[in-house]
Amino acid sequence: MSSPADSAIPYTVQPRYDTGLYNAKLGIWLFLASEVMLFGALFSSYILLRTGAPEWPRGASILSVPLGAFNTALLISSSLTMLLSWTALRMKDFKKFKLLLGITILLAIVFLGVKAYEYSTKFEHHYFPSKSTYLAIYFTMTGLHALHIIGGIIVNTYMWGPGSKMWKTDPERFTNRIEIAGLYWHFVDLVWLFLFPMLYLL
Amino acid sequence: MSEHDHHEGHHVHPELPFWQKYIFSQDHKIIGIQYGITALFFLLFGFFLMLLMRWQLAFPGEPLPIIGKWFGENNMPGGIMLPEFYNQLGAMHGTIMVFLGVVPLAVGAFGNYVVPLQIGAPDMAFPKLNMASYWAYFAGGCVMLASFFVPGGAASSGWTSYPPLANIATQGQTWWLFGMVLLITSSLLGSINTITTIFQLRVPGLTFFRLPFFVWAQLVTAFLLLLAFPPLEAAGVMQLMDRLFNTSFFMPSGLVVSGQPLEISGGGSVLLWQHLFWFLAHPEVYVLILPAMGIVTEIITNNTRKPLNGYKMMIYSIIFLGFMSFIVWAHHMFLTGMGTAISAFFQATTMIISIPSIVILSYMFITLWGGSIRFNTPMLFALAFLPMFGIGGLTGLPLGISAADIHLHDTYYVIAHFHYIVAPGTIFALFAGIYYWFPKATGRHMNELLGKIHFWPSLICMNIIFMPMFIQGLAGVSRRLYDGGASYDFAHNVMPLNQLSTYGAWGLTVAQIPFIFNFFWSIFKGKKAASNNPWQATTLEWAAPNCPPHGNFEKPLKVYRGPYEYSVPGSKKDYSPQFEENS
Give the tens place of pLDDT for each residue, B282-325.
999 999 999 999 999 999 999 999 999 999 999 999 999 999 99
pLDDT band, residue A7 (cuts 50/70/90)? very low
* pLDDT for residue A188 is more than 90: yes
Q: What is the DSSP string of A129-156?
A: TTT-HHHHHHHHHHHHHHHHHHHHHHHH
B247:A129 CB<8 A: yes
Does a structural domain hold residue A13?
Answer: no
Q: Kindly state whether residue B448 falls inside one of the protein's structural domains.
A: yes
Cα A187 to Cα A32: distance, rounded to the nearest angstrom:
7
Confirm whether B406 is domain-assigned. Answer: yes
pLDDT tens digit string along B130-159? 999 999 999 999 999 999 999 999 999 999
pLDDT of residue B14: 53
Cβ(A187)–Cβ(A32) below 8 Å: yes
Residue A8 lies in a domain: no
Residue B375 lies in a domain: yes
* Residue in A closest to B234 by C-alpha: A38
Residue spans of chain B under pLDDT 50: 1-13
**Residues of A engaging B, defined by a Cβ cutoff of 8 Å:** 1, 3-6, 8-11, 16, 19, 21-24, 26-27, 30-31, 33-35, 37-42, 45, 48-49, 52-53, 128-133, 136-137, 139-140, 144
Amino acid B15: pLDDT: 67
In-domain check, residue A58: yes
- CATH number where A126 lies: 1.20.120.80
pLDDT number for residue B22: 83
Q: Averaged over A18-43, what is the pLDDT?
A: 96
Cβ separation B234–A131 shorter than 8 A? no
Give dist(CA B449, CA B581) in Å, integer. Answer: 37
Say how many domains are in chain B: 1
* B509 located within any domain: yes
Q: What is the domain-level CATH number for residue B6?
A: 1.20.210.10
Of A12, A23, A44, A46, which to mutate for an interface test with B (greatest number of B Cβ within 10 Å)?
A: A23
Q: Tell me if residue B339 falls in helix, strand or coil.
A: coil
Let me know if residue A66 belongs to a domain. yes
Mean of pLDDT values over A137-157 = 97
CB B117 within 8 A of CB B542: no
Overall number of domains in chain A = 1
In a domain, B144, yes or no: yes
| pLDDT at residue B16, rounded to an integer | 77
As a whole-number percent, the residues of chain B with pLDDT over 70 amount to 97
Domain that holds residue B186: 2-251+265-543
In this complex, the residue of A19, A22, A130 whose CB is nearest that of residue B265 is A130
**Domain limits for position A77:** 19-201
Nearest to B106 by CA among B224, B209, B264, B250: B224
d(CA A175, CA A86): 7
Q: Do A129 and A183 touch, CB atoms closer than 8 A?
A: no
Q: Is residue B258 part of a domain?
A: no
Of A4, A40, A45, the CB nearest to B15: A4
Compute CA A23 distance to the chain's CA centroid, rounded to the nearest angstrom: 21
pLDDT of residue B4: 43
**Per-residue pLDDT tens over the stretch A189-201:** 999 999 999 999 9
Answer yes or no: is B549 within a domain.
no
Q: Is residue B85 part of a domain?
A: yes
Task: Decide if pLDDT at A155 tops 80.
Answer: yes
- The CA-atom distances, in angstroms, between B250 and each of A49, B178, B201, B246, B289 are 9, 18, 44, 11, 31
pLDDT computed for residue B23 by the predictor? 85
